Amino acid sequence: MIWVLIAIVVVVLAVLVIVLRRPRQEPGVASFRRHIDALSPEARREVMDRHRAQDDSNDGPNDGPNEGPGN
Amino acid sequence: MARDLAIDLGTANTLVYMKGRGIVLNEPSVIALNRQTGEVLATGREAWQMIGRTPGYIVAVRPLRGGAITDFEITERMIRLLLQRVGVSRFTRPKVVICVPSAITEVERRAVTDAARRAGAADAQLIEQPMAAAIGADLPIDEPVGNMVIDIGGGTSETAVISLGGVVALEAVRVGSFDIDAAIQAYVRREHGIAIGERTAEEVKMAIGSAAPTDDESQAEVRGRDLMTGLPKTVVLTPEEIRFAIEDVVSSIIASVVRCLAKAPPELAQDFLVRGMYLVGGGGLLRGLAPRIEKETQVPVKMSNVPLEAVVLGAGHCIEHYDALKNMFMGARRS
């Protein structure tokens, strides 16, 4: 029984050491990275491709007037 | 389940982007009402066709001027009807991102978000038009380089320098292509003694209006009402006359671009010489405007591939990546 308890303690300690030694990222860094990644051309491709496809399939998304400079 | 929406609530046109589907609505920001009962008779294109041609009991109005709500109740009704047209009901309440001019006041911000919430949105967030335009124009704003975007709309003109996903410098004036139309109306009235409507002035601008001389210039015949006799009258306008008529408005837009350039940090300013500035918005389509800005600022000016849709596409991208980009919303940064 005692050996089982010792084994559990050792495993828990090992997990703690591994978790604590892992380099932690600042929350600000992670959030900024996510923000910048979401603005990358790759992230934006989906919206642009969808618009191009929409443009190709019909001249306009709706029947709104294309007023040119008045828009 | 409601699909979230991005709305470019422009002075001239309203565009709606639906998450996962793209642009689903593009209509003039006009509403026609029965003056006596207050009933809505038409919105969008149908109402736009009524401007200046209605009997006494109907009024066709643009509830936004200079990018701001001038009539809260009418704007709310217009937004509600537009949302209904894209499938929003009282049971499907989507999250909404709305593009607004950067110079909007706190009161105006609240008016827009309240109007959207009352019209059926579960949550309404605001994003500055130049930022949305830069995203929609596909500029590399994720990089540490200076990206300059000039957004000329119906009621506002905004110039912004953007780098690393944020606005570095910004300059906005409440002058836009409707002011160009108004300047043409005033000129024709003053110099030719005839009254022309808003839509005729816009047609003149599109036919022969320019900010600088161009190769393909021609004259335009304009019909209006003689102010002396009250009878219909036709006059011929030249491109030179129209350039003279709109000069003050064009100069004011260019002056704001120059002020924004002056505000930009020197490290970013050098990027503009290489990368140029990008023109978006319907007002940017005015003939000769890009070369004129280029001449006066000595910086190359390029037209966006999607000048009319750039703003709503940018906001649409924000709705597609809502959690990652929520720091960009106006409330998130100012509160």
Given this model, what pLDDT does residue A69 score? 43
**B154 has a chain A CB within 8 A of its CB:** yes
Answer whether B286 touches A (CB < 8 Å): yes
pLDDT, tens digit (0-9, with 9 covering 90-100), for B53-66: 889 999 998 888 87
The whole-angstrom distance between B213's CA and the closest CA on chain A is: 17
Q: Between B23, B25, B282, which is nearest A70 by CB?
A: B282
- Strand arrangement, sheet containing B123-128: B22-28, B13-18, B5-9, B95-100, B123-128
ipTM score for this prediction: 0.79
Average pLDDT across chain B, whole number: 91
Compute the distance between CA of residue B191 and CA of residue B232 in angstroms, rounded to an integer: 16
* pLDDT mean over B39-43: 91
Long-range Cβ contact pairs of B265-268 (< 8 A, separation 24 or more): B265/B168, B265/B169, B267/B146, B268/B145, B268/B146, B268/B161, B268/B163, B268/B168
**pLDDT recorded at residue A63:** 45
pLDDT digits (tens, 9 = 90+) for A4-62: 999 999 999 998 888 777 766 677 888 889 999 999 989 998 898 888 888 888 664 44
Q: Given pLDDT bands bounded at 50, 70 and 90, which one contains residue B262?
A: very high
Determine the distance in angstroms separating the CA of A62 from the nearest CA of chain B, rounded to an integer: 6
Could A61 and B286 be called an inter-chain contact, meaning their C-beta atoms sit closer than 8 Å?
A: no
| CA of B188 vs chain A CAs: smallest distance (Å) | 18
B interface test, pick of A39, A51, A59, A62 with most B CB neighbours within 10 Å: A39
Q: Tokens for A38?
A: 């979401």
Rounded to a whole number of angstroms, the distance from the CA of A23 to the nearest CA of chain B is 23
* Residue B333 φ then ψ, to 5°: -90, -25
Look at B205 and A69 and tell me if their CB atoms are within 8 Å: yes
pLDDT for res B184: 97
B260 contacts: CB under 8 Å, gap ≥ 6: B148, B159, B160, B161, B169, B170, B171
With bands split at pLDDT 50, 70 and 90, how would you rate the model's confidence at B314? very high
Average of per-residue pLDDT across B236-265:
96
Task: Give the pLDDT score at B71.
Answer: 82
Is the minimum CB–CB distance between A43 and chain B shorter than 8 Å?
Answer: yes
* A61 in contact with chain B, both atoms CB, cutoff 8 A: yes
Instruction: Mark yes or no for CB contact B21/A62 under 8 Å.
Output: no
Identify which of B25, B316, B324 has the shortest CB distance to residue A47. Answer: B316
pLDDT digits (tens, 9 = 90+) for B96-128: 999 988 888 888 888 889 888 888 888 999 999
Q: Cα distance from B229 to chain A (closest Cα, Å)?
A: 30
**Predicted confidence band at A67 (pLDDT cuts at 50, 70, 90)?**
very low
Cβ neighbors of B263 (< 8 A, separation 6 or more) are B161, B169, B170, B171
Cβ neighbours for B259, distance < 8 A, ≥ 6 positions apart? B159, B171
DSSP conformational letter for A66? -
Per CB-CB distance under 8 Å, the chain A contacts of B45 are: 63-65
pLDDT given for residue A68 in this prediction:
42
Does the beta-carbon distance from A34 to B140 stay under 8 Å? Answer: no
A68 vs B contacts (CB less than 8 Å): 206, 282, 285
How far is the CA of B286 from the CAs of B208, B210, B307, B313, in angstroms? 10, 6, 12, 22
The answer to whether residues B177 and B308 touch, using CB atoms and an 8 Å cutoff, is: no
Q: At residue A70, does pLDDT exceed 60? A: no
What are the tokens at A9? 């303690």
Q: Which residue of B has its CA nearest to A51?
A: B22
Q: How confident is the model at residue B260 (pLDDT cuts 50, 70, 90)?
A: very high
pLDDT (mean) for B192-216: 93
Residue of A nearest to B210 (CA): A69
Is B283–A71 a contact, with Cβ atoms under 8 angstroms apart? yes
Confidence of residue B332 (pLDDT cuts 50, 70, 90): low
Residue to mutate among A29, A47, A58, A59, with most B CBs inside 10 A, is A47
Give CA–CA dist B156/B97, Å, rounded: 19
In contact, B320 and A46? CB cutoff 8 Å: yes
Are A37 and B142 inside 8 Å of each other by CB? yes
User: Cβ of B326 under 8 Å from any chain A Cβ?
Assistant: no
What share of chain B in percent tops pLDDT 90? Answer: 69
* pLDDT confidence of residue B146: 93
* pLDDT class of B334 with cuts at 50, 70, 90: very low
Give the helix/strand (H/E) hosting A56: helix A41-57
Contacts of A38 in chain B (CB under 8 A): 321, 324-325
Say which of B22, B178, B286 has its CB closest to residue A54. B22
In total, chain B counts a number of residues equal to 335
SS3 of residue A5 by DSSP = helix
Q: What is the pTM of this model?
A: 0.86
A70 touches chain B (CB under 8 A): yes
A54 in reach of chain B (CB within 8 A): yes
Residue B316 has pLDDT above 90, yes or no: yes
Q: Cβ contacts of residue B15 below 8 Å, gap of 6+?
A: B7, B8, B23, B25, B26, B309, B311, B312
